Homo-oligomer: A and B are copies of this chain.
């Protein structure tokens, strides 16, 4: 529905695999000192000297993680990079390189892949990461993107999931539930479009949440901010799979419990109004919606004064002893057990 149907079509077969990689990556520039050799050999060569190296990887599959009927390819390329950088930032590390592999069916013309790579290039440029390798192959159906991100961090700055201690504060960046509600709006518009293709969707009232779904940003700024504030989290995790499942992961890894306060969960007004419109409970959305590329972390109580004035950070609870369990303290001041409902791709 957003796609331009009149674009030029160049068949992928005309280029061959090597021609395709060269064509798609020819504008990519090296920005990181640690990149000794990028694309063009059997492997990239990197140099991190006394830094530690972090490595993370994610697959995005058409029909499972994205729907091209409302996801422009440029946004998809951008998002594929963000998904991975978010995991690097969750280690309190600096993202330095990525590799991009795609499997793509012949139904995509070269021009579609150029759009995808334009999004990848924009993301790489903006976040200062070098694209140092990848693979391009055909698929029987649809598009699949596999990204591996590499980052660097000094030995004393790396933050794992397992360092949370009782009495630490539980903090989250940004606001939650936007990406999920943006998806609901896009899915509704898709149904409307199917019935009447001439009907132009009015997405104006949903700009923020649609952007949270289509063009998320990884929180590089939060890693920088915490350094500036001289706050080193005791544990940190990316919450793209949903706040409650990630709180559970963090607490299980750290062998602690927690109390999460419903009234402290940060929600954008557009999330609240759209939840009302769709008659969905906003807390459920914030807890289980997923795809909010925000960071969840724990800090020592003594660091609270350093972060309390910051509009990017919300204290949403605190860590307890493991035996106390994991609970949501509701607005009505009742305690209910925290359960994960996250994405369950295989049950779709």
Q: A residues near B, CB below 8 A?
A: 11-13, 15-18, 20, 36-37, 40-50, 52-59, 61-65, 86-88, 90-91, 93, 97, 99, 101-103, 106, 132-135, 137-142, 144, 146, 148-151, 153, 155, 158, 160-162, 236-238, 245, 249, 253, 342-348
Interface pairs (23), CB distance under 8 Å: A13-B346, A13-B347, A17-B343, A18-B245, A42-B56, A42-B86, A43-B56, A45-B52, A46-B54, A48-B48, A53-B53, A55-B97, A55-B148, A61-B137, A61-B138, A61-B140, A64-B140, A65-B137, A99-B148, A101-B146, A138-B345, A140-B142, A141-B141
Q: Which residues of B contact A53 (CB under 8 A)?
A: 45-48, 53
Whether A106 lies near B346 (C-beta < 8 A) is yes
CB distance from A152 to the nearest CB of B (A): 10
Q: Which residues of B contact A49 (CB under 8 A)?
A: 49-50
Whether B161 lies near A45 (C-beta < 8 A) is no
CB distance from A236 to the nearest CB of B (A): 8
How often does this chain occur in the complex, in copies?
2
Would A41 and B99 be within 8 Å (CB), given that A139-B144, A344-B17 are in contact?
no
Would A41 and B161 be within 8 Å (CB), given that A137-B65, A146-B146, A150-B55 are in contact?
yes
Whether B13 lies near A62 (C-beta < 8 A) is no
Whether B345 lies near A17 (C-beta < 8 A) is yes
Whether B52 lies near A16 (C-beta < 8 A) is no
Closest B residue to A90 using CB positions: B42
Q: Which residues of B contact A16 (CB under 8 A)?
A: 344, 346-347
Would A146 and B59 be within 8 Å (CB), given that A13-B346, A13-B347, A343-B17 are in contact?
yes
Docked Cα-Cα span, A158 to B53, in Å, equals 19
Docked Cα-Cα span, A245 to B16, in Å, equals 12
Docked Cα-Cα span, A53 to B88, in Å, equals 17
Among B15, B42, B63, point to the contact of A237 (Cβ < 8 A).
B42
Docked Cα-Cα span, A343 to B155, in Å, equals 44
- Count chain B CB atoms within 10 A of each CB in A42, A106, A144, A160 and give the residue with the most: A42
